[in-house]
Amino acid sequence: MIIDCHGHYTTAPKQLEEWRKRQIAELEDSKHAPTKGNLGISDDEIRASLEGAQLKLQRERGTDLTIFSPRAMGMSHHVGNETTSRHWSEHCNEMIHRVCALYPEKFVGVCQLPQSPGVPPANCIPELERCVKEFGFIGCNLNPDPSGGYWKEPPLTDKWWYPLYEKMVELEVPAMVHVSASCNPNFHGTGAHYINGDTTAFMQFITADLFKDFPTLKFVIPHGGGAVPYHWGRYRGLAQDMKRPPLAELVMNNVFFDTCVYHQPGIDLLLKVIPADNVLFASEMVGAVKGVDPETGFNYDDTKRYIDAIDWVSRADKEKIFQGNVKKVYPRFKPTGAKR
Amino acid sequence: MIIDCHGHYTTAPKQLEEWRKRQIAELEDSKHAPTKGNLGISDDEIRASLEGAQLKLQRERGTDLTIFSPRAMGMSHHVGNETTSRHWSEHCNEMIHRVCALYPEKFVGVCQLPQSPGVPPANCIPELERCVKEFGFIGCNLNPDPSGGYWKEPPLTDKWWYPLYEKMVELEVPAMVHVSASCNPNFHGTGAHYINGDTTAFMQFITADLFKDFPTLKFVIPHGGGAVPYHWGRYRGLAQDMKRPPLAELVMNNVFFDTCVYHQPGIDLLLKVIPADNVLFASEMVGAVKGVDPETGFNYDDTKRYIDAIDWVSRADKEKIFQGNVKKVYPRFKPTGAKR
C-alpha cells in the first residue's frame, strides 16, 4: 500500500472560493455580522472535482491513498479575525470530511486550524477536536506564521503553543508544519515562503527543549524538510557548537520529512541523509508545480517515480517510507476502507 | 590557485566590537552627536587575529586566497540609523583594507554596505566607490533585509535597488546576497535566516526581469544557494508554470552559488545539479560552524575536502570552481600579489 501523506484539496468546486471571496468582501462592511452560511456544493460536484485530478493521478501513479487537507495557500490566516478563520476553516474541513466519506479508500482527513494572528493557538482546540472526534481526521496543519510572511507569532517552541500541543498529544495527532500564502512581497509563496517555513521550524526545534516537554509530539516538515537535508552537516554542526544533543536524539523521534522534492538528485540526497524512519512518502499533488519536466517526460511532482528509481534503498526501508511510518506518525490512521 | 570567495573577518581584535558596543550605547543618549572616532588597533593586533585563525586554516586546508569581508552577523543594519551604519561600515571596511594591505597574497576585499532600514540603497554608493576605487575591493555584500528578519524592504528586483545596481555595473563589482543578524525570534541567524535569505533572493530573481535591465549584473548566493539546488526541480517547474524562460537563460548568466555546504552529500548534490560555470568555491571560515564532524574527523566547514573527494567532476570544471569563475564574477580580481 502506497500512502501519500501530503495532498491538498486544491481542486474544490468553485463555490468554496466564491464563499471565501464573499467573506472577505464582507469584512469591509463593519455593520455586517459574519455568518457561516452554506456552500451549496453537491456530492456530484465533489466527485467531479476529484475524478479528473487527484483520483486520476493516484491511479496513474500507483498511489493508493492520500492524507488530505484543505488547500494550504487558501488557509490565509492573515485575513480578517478569529471568526473569519473559524468559519472558513469549518467549511474547508467539512469539505475534506465529505471527500473522505465519498472515497473512504482513497482519502483520510487532516484539518486546517482556525488560527488568526495574535490569537492563542489554544482557541483552535474545539475545531481540532471536532475534526478528529466527529470526522475521524488523523492530523492537522499548523501554520507557524499566521501573519503570512511577517513572522510575528512566537517560535513553535514557545509556551504560547503548548495548550494546542497538549491536545494534540492527548488526541494522538501530529501536525504538518505548513505556512500559507505570503502577503510579504519578498516571499514568493511556494518558491520561498513554504521552503523558508520548513527550514525555520526545524531550526526552532533544534534550539529548544520542546520534545523534552512533549516526548510523543510529532511534526511532519513538508517539502522535503525545506533546506534542512541539503544542509544536514550545518545542522549537525550547529547543534554540536551549541552543546545540544546529537540530532538523532534531539529531534528525530519527533520530526519527520516528506518527499515533496521534485527531481531525482534531491530525492537521492534526502534518502541518503535522513534515516528511512524519518521519511514519509508525499507528492503534494495537485499542488505547487503542475508541469511535466522536459528532462524526464514526467510530472515534476510524480515523486514516487524518483523513489522507485533508487536501487540502494532496501525494500524494508521503502516500505517504511511508503506506508510503515504513517502508522507510527499518525496513530489514528486505521485501515477502514476495503483495501485497508 | 584555490580562491575561497566567502570569508568574513570574524576574528577581528576586540576593540572593533567594543567600539560597536559604545556606538550602540550612545544611541540611547539623544544629546550625543554620533562620531566615527578611532579604533586604536595596531597592525600587530591584526596579524595576531589572523595568524592562528584564517591564515592557519588557509595553510592547513590548501587554500591560497580568501575574498574577505566584514563579519556578516556584525553588519546588523537594523541597529540605529543611516549614520550609525555609515560609521560602522566605514570602520569595518577599513579593517578589511588593512588586512588586505598586510597580506596582499592572502586576502582581497569585499565591503559591507552602510544600509539602513527604509533608506534608499543609492545612499550606499559613496562607501561602495570608496572601497572599490581607494581600497581596491572587488565586490560588496548586499543585505536584502536590513530590518533583520522582518523583511520590510522591497524585493531585490524592485527599482528601489536600481541606483545601486547601476553603480555596481559601472564599477564591475558583484554583490554577495547576505543577510545579517536576525532580531526576529523565529529565525535563528545562521540556521534559518541566512538560508532563508538565500532561497528568497533566488526566487525573487526568477519572478522578475532584473537581468534584462542589467545583463551584466552579478550576484553570488552564499551557503550553497540556500535551499535552491536541493529543490532545483521545484524551481525549474515553477519557472515553467509561470511561463518564464528556462533557468539557464533566465538567471544563470547572473547568479552564482558558493560551496558553503558542510557535508559530502550536500556538495555532491550541488555539483550534480548546478553547472560548474555557476559554482564558486567557498568555506565561510571562520564562520557559522566551527566544530569537527565526528563522522569524518575534519571540520564541517573544510569544504575543499568534499570537492577534492569527488572524482566525477572534471579537472577543468574543478578549476572553474576553485578559481576560474572568480575571474568571471569579480572582473576586478587581479593577480597583484607574488603568488598571483
* Torsion A234-A239-A242-A243 (CA) sign: negative
- Contacting residues for A144 by C-beta, under 8 A, at least 6 apart: A153, A155, A156, A177, A179, A197, A200, A201, A204, B186
CB A190 to CB B232 under 8 A? no
Point out the residue among B153, B227, B263 whose CB comes nearest to the CB of A195: B227
| Mean of pLDDT values over A117-123 | 98
B155: chain A residues, CB-CB within 8 Å: 185-186
B284 is catalytic: yes
Interface probe, candidates A230, A269, A286, A292, chain B, greatest B C-beta count within 10 A? A230
CB B206 to CB A186 under 8 A? no
pLDDT digits (tens, 9 = 90+) for B13-66: 999 999 999 999 999 988 888 999 999 999 999 999 999 999 999 999 999 999
Res B101 pLDDT > 60: yes
A185: chain B residues, CB-CB within 8 Å: 154-155
pLDDT on residue B336: 59
Q: Which of B17, B284, B295, B319 is catalytic?
A: B284
pLDDT on residue A339: 42
Cβ atoms within 10 Å of A27's Cβ, excluding its own: 14
B182, B148 contact by CB (below 8 A): yes
| Mean of pLDDT values over B175-188 | 98
pLDDT on residue B323: 97
Res B118 pLDDT > 60: yes
Point out the residue among B230, B263, B293 whose CB comes nearest to the CB of A266: B230
B235: chain A residues, CB-CB within 8 Å: 191
| Mean of pLDDT values over A84-88 | 98
pLDDT digits (tens, 9 = 90+) for A279-333: 999 999 999 999 999 999 999 999 999 999 999 999 999 999 999 999 999 999 9
CA distance A261 to chain B (A): 6
Grid cell, residue B254, equals 547572473
| Mean of pLDDT values over A64-91 | 98
Q: Is the ipTM of this complex over 0.85?
A: yes
| Mean of pLDDT values over A21-30 | 93
Point out the residue among B188, B272, B290 whose CB comes nearest to the CB of A207: B188
Which residue of A lies nearest to B230 if distances are taken between CA atoms?
Answer: A266
Torsion, Cα of A209, A211, A212, A215 (10° steps): 180
| Mean of pLDDT values over A48-66 | 97
Grid cell, residue B68, equals 574577505
| Mean of pLDDT values over B125-154 | 98
CA distance A87 to A77: 12
CA distance A87 to chain B (A): 28
A293: chain B residues, CB-CB within 8 Å: 233, 236-237
Query: Which segments of chain B are extended strands (E)?
Result: 3-9, 65-70, 107-109, 111-112, 140-142, 175-177, 219-221, 255-258, 279-280, 292-293, 298-299
A95, A70 contact by CB (below 8 A): yes
Q: What does residue B43 show for φ and ψ, rounded to 5 degrees?
A: -60, -40
Report residue A340's pLDDT band, with 50, 70 and 90 as the boundaries.
Answer: very low
Report residue B338's pLDDT band, with 50, 70 and 90 as the boundaries.
Answer: very low
What percentage of residues in chain A have a pLDDT greater than 90?
A: 96
- Contacting residues for A335 by C-beta, under 8 A, at least 6 apart: none
CA distance B229 to chain A (A): 8
pLDDT on residue B32: 84
Spatial CA neighbour of B118 closest among B150, B166, B90, B95: B150
CB B236 to CB A263 under 8 A? yes
pTM of the model: 0.97
CA distance A156 to chain B (A): 8
B247, B255 contact by CB (below 8 A): no
pLDDT digits (tens, 9 = 90+) for B201-238: 999 999 999 999 999 999 999 999 999 999 999 999 99
Length of chain A: 340
In this predicted structure, which of B24-33, B164-173, B176-185, B274-283 has the lowest mean pLDDT? B24-33
A289: chain B residues, CB-CB within 8 Å: 233-234, 237-238, 241
